[in-house]
Chains A and B, each alone.
Chain A
């Protein structure tokens, strides 16, 4: 299974779209809810359609359009979306109105747009894309399963171009609820020094990142995805065995050939300790990178990591705020390890496609 990345659209709490130096400078936050830097949507979507869309739909649709533009592709053959919580704003808005108006005279618009597949279907509607359209809603595995589906689809028919993405929004209400579960740091001095303090909790984030994947390699290829896997609620022993078997059996390369590991450290001291130990044990010679202090923790933060990994492979440069440990060597093989609140763990392996000049 191989999927070649042809285009990326990434809307995140960092300036990840437009003509900028990637993460240079990085955006710094002093709060525990990192909202996306949103583009002027009217440049991408006509005002009439825009007016009806909630923020998550705008972000999703626009990042998809950015990816297509980047890939110089008009219409994909399939659209596959992953979203942990879907259209939160519309869902809570309809719930509020049910309560406030005692189930009477309700405006259907928020209900219509509350369904998780609204993002993928709005993209299809806009592009008039009649092909395969799928939405995964399995928490922090949503983007990974979308990616797995795309990999299988390309194996079934490599001539396709598939738009695959991860989208999740942060709203005031969702943040208030998650905060009550004690997930976040109460005080954040600076997100750029998130890993310096030994504290509990992380910072919340959001984002939309779509990728155009194809089964055919050509000069437009940015990077090549080889494998993705997920593991739920493992004990430490199972987790380590799974990582070992992924590298040894699935991608089948020596551990020391992995040049960079992007670690989904969240800033939570206890969780991060385990991640550091894993990295030290298995990847002592590799460069190590971090990203959740840039995008915040959310269900599809692995899609931000995939965009970041691709940028690094293309530029052969690890942006300064990403560096956890830098080793001077060409970056050909990148492993992304994305854990989410101890429960969800995923691995994505990608490589550069053309000889590094």
Chain B
């Protein structure tokens, strides 16, 4: 690991709260944000449980002072990124500042409106609904709202996207290319993803039960999570508090199957192991793992096996906060990074709701309740389709 990169601000919006502190309160009180779908124009409305952000597009737009016709992915992203920048409490525009987002759906929520009339007649469908379809175009809407004109990029490695965005931010700072990077990810619920996961038969019709023996699938969610990353120099010159240090990360590929993880968790094992090596830490020095823990048979068994192989029986406190937020796809790494930073800041670990019985093959018992413990180093895992596995370690700030 090169020069230290610090987290100087956090912003998050998810099914359990519209700000970092609201989410923290919900995590503390074991509040799940998952409930039957209310927002989308879908046959699954009122039936499938999802983790919806409780604000409408109009409310999101009003909170951050932007046009309410922007796509929801951008609105969620602006909401969380603005919070992160405000939280960092310094003028980011004084520095070489970049913005890196991660998203899997981009402007899909609007493309879904464009598409049916277009299918009937290719001259139909409002162009304003499709112009920001691309993932990058959605990011450009966010940077425009933030006033960031420097390096801007977007990553899509499915559900591991946000961790890769934060990794890239840290590397750009370490290489001396940027001083400040706002990095994370955002994804809105869409009919497209809802039906995609439904067709794969990995959605639980009830509330998801990550790492439980009886788990039958995931609940989709939506939201955004961003952090403000700064160099040592920025930290010192701006008199900032280091909320956490990015101490290690790794991106690997399972190379096993397009949508399934290998039974032994080869990719996830390598990601966690390489992140530990970069951080120069022993497995025993990790005090909390924020699991990928989607609640699918395949992910939890694979991730659990990898953890068992790496940490043995002395695995640290671990939990899937997706039991409260749902699986927010490209945003989950950003949201869970903020939660991992909260664990370090407040010296606590978060609950894995609805756990009753350990997966027999691995026997891992996750953290069942909110608890205050010493957390020196927290690890966050994010794995995605295409075998993309990323793991990142945050250490106590100084």
Contact = CB atoms under 8 A, between A and B. Distances in A.
Interface string B89-127: 000000000000000101000011001101100110001
A211 interface: no
A267 to B, nearest CB: 22
B156 A98 contact: no
Interface stretch (B212-220, B248-256, B306-314): B248-256
Contacts of B112: 95, 98
Contacts of A156: 171
Given A108-B196, A138-B136, A124 B253 contact: yes
Interface in A148-196: 149, 152, 155-156, 176-177, 180-181
A130 interface: yes
Nearest to B144: A233
A107 B131 CA distance: 27
A130 B252 contact: yes
Contacts of A106: 195, 198-199
Contact of A86 (B152, B156, B172, B257): B156
Contacts of A124: 253, 255, 386-387
Given A98-B191, A130-B253, A111 B386 contact: no
Contacts of B139: 138
Given A98-B195, A130-B270, 10 more contacts: A98-B192, A111-B195, A115-B158, A118-B385, A121-B387, A122-B258, A134-B155, A137-B155, A176-B122, A232-B149
Contacts of B156: 86, 115-117, 135, 137
B248 to A, nearest CB: 14
23 contacts: A79-B253, A84-B136, A86-B135, A95-B115, A104-B43, A106-B198, A106-B199, A108-B199, A111-B199, A112-B200, A112-B259, A116-B135, A121-B385, A122-B258, A124-B386, A125-B255, A130-B254, A130-B266, A133-B157, A133-B253, A137-B136, A138-B152, A181-B127
B370 interface: no
B200 A111 contact: yes
A103 B385 contact: no
Contacts of A135: 155-157
A164 B171 CA distance: 18
Pick from A79, A85, A98, A152 the residue with the most CB of B within 10 Å: A98
A134 B251 contact: yes
Pick from A94, A104, A134, A141 the residue with the most CB of B within 10 Å: A134
Nearest to A100: B119
B134 interface: yes
Given A98-B195, A104-B43, A138-B154, A133 B135 contact: no
Contacts of B171: 152, 156
A130 B255 contact: yes
Contacts of A107: 199
Contact of B115 (A86, A99, A113): A99
A87 to B, nearest CB: 11
A117 B385 contact: yes
Contacts of A84: 134, 136
B155 A139 contact: no
Interface string A64-101: 00000000000000010000111000001011101100
Contact of A149 (B127, B168, B384, B388): B168
Pick from B43, B155, B384 the residue with the most CB of A within 10 Å: B155
Given A135-B156, A139-B137, A129 B253 contact: yes
B135 A137 contact: yes
Given A121-B253, A130-B252, A131-B253, A136 B175 contact: no
B57 interface: no
A128 B255 contact: yes
A114 B387 contact: no
Nearest to A105: B199
A149 B251 CA distance: 13
B106 to A, nearest CB: 8
B44 interface: yes
User: Top 7 A-B pairs ranked by shortest CB distance?
Assistant: A121-B386, A111-B196, A139-B136, A138-B136, A108-B199, A106-B199, A116-B156
A96 B125 CA distance: 14
Interface majority SS (helix, strand, loop, mixed), chain B: mixed
A114 B158 contact: no
Contacts of A118: 258, 385-386
Nearest to A127: B255
B38 interface: no
Nearest to A96: B119
Interface string A207-237: 0000000000000000000000010100000
A102 interface: yes
A134 B250 CA distance: 11
Contacts of A94: 192, 195-196
A2 interface: no
A132 B192 CA distance: 28
A135 B192 CA distance: 21
Contact of A125 (B106, B127, B387): B387
B51 interface: no
A86 B156 CA distance: 10
A120 interface: yes
A96 B157 CA distance: 24
Contacts of A310: none
B340 interface: no
A142 interface: yes
B83 interface: no
B138 to A, nearest CB: 10
A215 B200 CA distance: 41
A298 interface: no
A145 interface: yes
B64 interface: no
Contacts of A121: 253, 255, 258, 385-388
Given A95-B192, A99-B115, A112 B258 contact: yes
A29 B73 CA distance: 39
A134 B157 contact: yes
A156 B136 CA distance: 27
B382 interface: no
B333 interface: no
Nearest to B151: A230
Pick from B42, B254, B388 the residue with the most CB of A within 10 Å: B388
